[in-house]
Structure formats: structure tokens, C-alpha cells
Amino acid sequence: MPPFGVAVVGAGYWGPNLVRNFATSPLWRLRWACDFNTERARAIVRHLDDVRVTADIADVLSDPDVAAVAIATPAATHTELALACVEAGKHVLVEKPLAATAADGVKVVEAAAAAGVVLMCDHTYCYTPSVAKIHELTHGGELGDIQYVDSVRINLGLIQPDVDVFWDLAPHDLSILDFVLPPEAAPLSVAAVGADPVNAGRSCVGFLAMPLLNGGIAHIHVNWLSPTKIRKTVVGGSRKMIVWDDLEPSQRVSVYDKGVDVVDAPEDARTRRLVSYRVGDMIAPALVETEALQNVVTEFADAIRSGRPPRTDGWAGLRVLRMLEAATRSTEAGGQAIALTTEREGSTP
């Protein structure tokens, strides 16, 4: 089967990575690099044969050899570009966030559904071997009931000029949560607390608490002001528990055969006898170090070919958007919990 033609739109921070991965994939044939700054577009495909450069998205959309478009422009432009692509019958891969608002996100998702094209969100972390392994454990039953997720993503990071720390860093954690939490542990609401101790004009430190449908809880700590860099997520289950430390290349994922069992309904809460503890071996599964983005472009091609939704489709992007919007509303409401609607793909958003 011949490769699909693809165009990369946006030659900024992420564009070169998309170029590299489409260019080296046998499933794809890179046709265009598109950026309003054609110098920049030219620079990222200079070493490649037969890739054209343009500032005009119309050149891309009118090319019958282009089956799909990857959008890596600033978030504010995602909706307009994605709708144009969908209208032209092109499959679309969008960087996070899917759109600037959930309302816009709904438009894009509905348009893609109506047009019958694949809409995929580039939630890159969901395609790392680590998160794939966590997904396998949470969905395969090995972890048991999800009791809590605690995710820490902190460092001395760039204070962004246009978004706060929630919108800058939490999309990673939220897209991972959305991917690894099974339906019975879906988040119910978001309570967010932020702080701006450096007077930057927006939250630089943020905490998100999200009660889960099954009685568990998810919590996220994002921070631009930390002296040390931490990328660590713990997933506690009733059977096993996972620690994912993304800065520990030799042992990213550790699976602990540990747990607590409360044997009885705690009628007599004054005794400890009802609780038992289990401490078994820890296993750090061998993970093949692959580039996540290569898996993204493969999944995109497979979804187009087979007509199935990709692993991180428009609905996933929309759910992440809704959690971010809830976080913003919660901080504005003094940390009050904001309920989430929890539709899954197939239902009307």
C-alpha cells in the first residue's frame, strides 16, 4: 500500500519533530512544509528531497496528493486551520490543545465526524513505552481498582507570556490521565488552586484535585518555580501500584506488588484488625526506548487506513480541554470544585 501524503503546518518548536518523524516513516510521504514565515519552513525541510514550501494553506489543501495535515501552529489558530482541513477532506493531526476553548473543540470534533475524516490529537506522552505500559496495567486488570493518581511535573521552567502553568504543563498530565484511567475511574470534577508568588500576572504554581467516579482521587502538581526537575506519576491500585519516574532512564516504570486490604466494612472503626498489608516483589518491566512521535505518526496512518478512531482522538482532546477550562473556573471561584461532564466517544459532546 502506498504511503499517505502529508503536510506539516507550523515550523516553530514542534514542527521539526513532526517533519523528522513523517520523513522517516515508510507509511508517510512528506509533501509540504507550510508556515507564514517561508524561510523557517524551508529550513526544516532543507535536507529532504521533494518537499515543497509555502506560506499559503490553500496550496496544501488543494493538493490531491495530500491526504493528511499535521497542525503545529499556536493554539489560537488550531480551530480555523483544522476546520479548513476537514472541509477540504483532509485527515487532521492537531497539537495540544485541540482548540482554544471547549466550544471551539466541539465544532472541530463534530465537523470531522460529519466529514468522515480522522481527527487525532498529538498527545505524545500517550505513545511513550512508559504510558503504554501503564495503560496496559490499568486496563488489563493487573492494577485492580485505581485508588489514586499523583502526578508531579515541576522545574525551573519558562514563565509563559500567554498561558498560566495549568495550560502550559497540565495538558500532559491530563491527557495521560484521560488515557490510562478506565471508565469506572473517570474524573468527576476539578478543584484547582494556583499561586503567583513572583507577580508574573498568572499562576506559576498549581495544584489540581480530581475525585474519581470509583471513590479514588487524581492530583496534579505543576510548577514553574521549583529548584529541581521532577516528572513523576504514581498510580495506586488495589492490586498493584506503579511509580513512573520519567527522569530515570534505567528504571522509568516500577510496578509494586503492594497494597492495603480492608477486609471488612469498618463497623467498629476502633480496631486495626480489619486492615491487611501486602508487600511483594517490585518489577521494572523492560521498555524499548522508541521515539513516541514515531508511534504517533504510525497510529495516525493506521487509523486512516482502517477507518477506526485513533487512540487519542478528538474526543480525548476535548475532554482535556474541558478539564483545563474547569481548572480555570475553579481557580477563579476560589478553589471550588467544578463538575465535569464525562461523555466518551460516540456520545454527543
Q: Which residues from 57-116 bind a second copy, rule CB under 8 A?
A: none
Write down the least CB distance from residue 116 to a second copy, Å. 39
For residue 171, whether the previous peptide bond is cis, meaning omega lies within 30 degrees of 0, is no
Residue 223 touches a second copy, criterion: CB under 8 A: yes
Residue 228 touches a second copy, criterion: CB under 8 A: yes
> What is the distance between the alpha carbons of residues 282 and 316, in angstroms, rounded to a whole number?
32
Residues 6+ apart with CB under 8 A from 316: 121, 123, 175, 178, 179, 345
Among 272, 307, 347, 348, binds a second copy (CB under 8 A): 272
> What is the distance between the alpha carbons of residues 32 and 276, in angstroms, rounded to a whole number?
61
Write down the least CB distance from residue 13 to a second copy, Å. 13
Q: Are 205 and 225 in contact (CB under 8 A)?
A: yes
Closer residue to a second copy, CB minimum distance, 64 or 334:
334
Closer residue to a second copy, CB minimum distance, 244 or 315:
244
147-162 burial by CB neighbour count: b if 16+ within 10 A, else e?
bbbebbbbbebebeee
Write down the least CB distance from residue 245 to a second copy, Å. 10
> What is the distance between the alpha carbons of residues 73 and 20, in angstroms, rounded to a whole number?
17
Give, as ranges, the residues between 277 and 336 that touch a second copy (CB under 8 A).
277, 279-286, 334-336
Binding mask 235-254 for a second copy (x = CB under 8 A): -x-x--xxx------xx--x
Closer residue to a second copy, CB minimum distance, 199 or 348:
199
Give, as ranges, the residues between 166 and 195 that touch a second copy (CB under 8 A).
191, 193-195
- Residue spans of alpha helices (H) in 46-149: 57-61, 78-87, 102-115, 129-139
Write down the least CB distance from residue 255 to a second copy, Å. 9
